Amino acid sequence: MSQLSHHETERPELGAIIRLFLRLGCTAFGGPAAHIAMLQEEVVTRRKWLSEAQFLDLLGATNLIPGPNSTEMAIHIGYLKGGYLGLILAGACFILPAAVIVSILAWGYVAFGSLPEVSGLLYAVKPVIIAVVAQAVCKLWRTALKGPFLTTLAAFSCALALFGFNELALLFGSGMIAGLVRWGALARMPGAPRPNSLLVIFMLVLALVVTPTILSTNVFGVAGPVPFDKTDLFLFFLKIGSVLYGSGYVLLAFLRAGLVDNWSWLSEAQLLDAVAVGQVTPGPVFTTATFVGYILGGPTSAILATVAIFLPAFVFVALSGPLIPLIRRSAVAGAFLDGVNAASLALMIAVTAQLGQSSLIDPFTILVAAGSIVSLLRFQVNSAWLILGAAMLGLICPLIT
């Protein structure tokens, strides 16, 4: 069993944490799945800060709490390797470059009324992202799927995810199934644990599932057009950061309901531009909030929106991080986490398949993806260089054709 302890390996210098996450914040294109793949490459393969089992435990725990998954992974790693100061530094350094880049784009958007053309950049970068995520899946496969049972559980989870089944239900469901199977096996052995250990897990799961749903019913406050107010803006994004599970597309639904339909602070076109900026810039997709804050109220509102949407992630990780070793010490709770890890890997596979359908659309993109896989697996090229190279290629090609 994996034990997430501060004393397992020597802590890196805080400066190393700062340098790593600042660099990732500047180069991590492609959304949460790609970010997690890059984190796996950096902290498991290259720096050996974590084992693959430890990384999977963090990934499973991250998927169970609301908020931006890749940012929470960065915060978890910072906490594990540098304590609470490392937690703050890792998260802030991962978020800051994206927030600065998005703020610059927002300034240009307000000044000139439009965004630069980014379709070429996305066209070239997406195939590299497919290769980066596929590499991470290959590396984590053997660690996450420790036997036929977990492999079967992951296969069913992947199939259901491809059919649009709720991601959170898959994670909790897989964990509960694995926990029940483990408890049933232990119950047939002398000195078996009593059922109340499983009951505690079930109650915690129920609380985690139901509470965000209840809270989200009042995310938007009073319906109808209201004057712009910075306090309301801060509270709006604070509530979203506290209850939101899922991808940037789920964030889009929350923003449309609150800022377009209810309060009429944004037009539909402005909202889509904000989400586009979050998708094409490096770092967390949640920096969409930075763009929205800037176009609504300038730099101060951009800062307020950014702090509000990311603050809950720091709190959730600070509360849940110390519990992971306790979970691993319990056979039933550890099995629950194994099930969650299997489902997490299944979701990564499903995301890769879905991205592949929209990204590998012609011989050029297929060639870029294949070349990236070879570069990653055979020559161990850092994925950041591949992504930056593809981004430059995507920006240059339209100028010379």
Instruction: Report the distance separating Cα 297 and Cα 110, nearest Å.
Output: 11
Residue 148 has which token pair?
């036929």
| Non-local CB neighbours of 324 within 8 Å, separated by 6+ positions | 4, 57, 58, 61, 337
The whole-model pTM stands at 0.70
Instruction: Report the distance separating Cα 267 and Cα 259, nearest Å.
Output: 8
Residue 181 has which token pair?
């199977």
Question: What is the Rg, in whole angstroms, of the alpha carbon atoms belonging to the chain?
Answer: 21
Torsion (CA) 185, 190, 195, 201 in degrees, nearest 10? -60
pLDDT at 34: 81
Instruction: Report the distance separating Cα 34 and Cα 47, nearest Å.
Output: 18
Residue 362 per-residue DSSP state: S
pLDDT at 226: 72
Q: Could you tell me the CA-to-CA distances from 49 to 4, 14, 20, 318, 335 in Å, in that order?
A: 11, 13, 12, 19, 24
Instruction: Report the distance separating Cα 27 and Cα 385, nearest Å.
Output: 8
Q: What DSSP element (H or E) covers 120? A: helix 119-144
DSSP collapsed to 3 states, 139-199: HHHHHHCCCHHHHHHHHHHHHHHHCCCCHHHHHHHHHHHHHHHHHHHHHCCCCCCCCHHHH
Nearest to 78 by CA among 66, 63, 94: 94
Question: Where does 189-267 have alpha helices with state H?
Answer: 196-216, 230-243, 248-255
What is the identity of the amino acid at 253?
A
Instruction: Report the distance separating Cα 74 and Cα 65, nearest Å.
Output: 14
Instruction: Report the distance separating Cα 175 and Cα 332, nearest Å.
Output: 10
Q: Is the dihedral of CA 341, 344, 350, 353 positive or negative?
A: negative
pLDDT at 256: 78
Q: Is the dihedral of CA 179, 181, 187, 190 positive or negative?
A: negative
Tell me if 82 sits within 8 A of 12, measured CB to CB: yes
Q: What DSSP element (H or E) covers 327? A: helix 324-329
Tell me if 293 sits within 8 A of 302, measured CB to CB: yes
Instruction: Report the distance separating Cα 224 and Cα 254, nearest Å.
Output: 15
Q: pLDDT tens digits, the chain, 401 residues: what are they?
A: 444 444 444 566 899 999 999 999 998 877 787 899 889 999 998 999 999 989 988 988 887 777 888 999 999 999 999 999 999 999 999 999 999 999 999 998 888 776 666 666 667 777 887 887 788 788 778 778 888 999 999 999 999 988 878 776 787 788 888 888 887 777 666 655 554 454 455 555 555 554 554 444 444 445 556 788 999 999 999 988 887 765 555 576 678 778 887 888 988 778 877 877 777 788 898 999 999 999 999 999 999 999 999 999 999 999 888 877 777 777 777 788 788 888 878 887 887 787 788 778 888 888 988 998 888 888 877 776 787 788 788 777 665 55
